[in-house]
Amino acid sequence: MDTQKIINQLDEIYGPGKGMSIYMNIIPGILADFDRMLGTAKGEMVREEYRLEDGKASLYVTGKRSANGRADIEVNVADLAHLPNRSII
């Protein structure tokens, strides 16, 4: 997991300096929740979307716990304001 990449992506969405604040205050809870999910997945790949409360961004967290107990996690940030609108007809 590339911490600086996540912070930079959040800065692009929320403005300079905001990414670190979000990273320090919100991301730990998301990672703790995802770690619990990995514990119940029994070595399977897990993917979860966490939409931030204001609706501006989503974090896509993907990972797998290896046999030795190490969790390999990747976090990607999506700017929801720049995604095309999708409507169901």
Confidence of residue 86 (pLDDT cuts 50, 70, 90): very low
Whole-prediction pTM value? 0.82
pLDDT of residue 84: 56
pLDDT digits (tens, 9 = 90+) for 10-62: 999 999 999 999 999 999 999 999 999 998 888 899 999 999 999 899 999 99
Q: Are 11 and 77 in contact (CB under 8 A)?
A: no
Structure tokens at 32: 């703790």
Question: For strand 46-51 and strand 57-65, is the pairing parallel, antiparallel, or unpaired?
Answer: antiparallel
CA 37 to CA 15: how far, in whole Å? 31
CA 30 to CA 48: how far, in whole Å? 10
pLDDT digits (tens, 9 = 90+) for 58-84: 999 999 998 888 889 999 999 987 765
Residue 49, strand partner residues: 60
Distance of CA 33 to the CA centre of its chain: 11
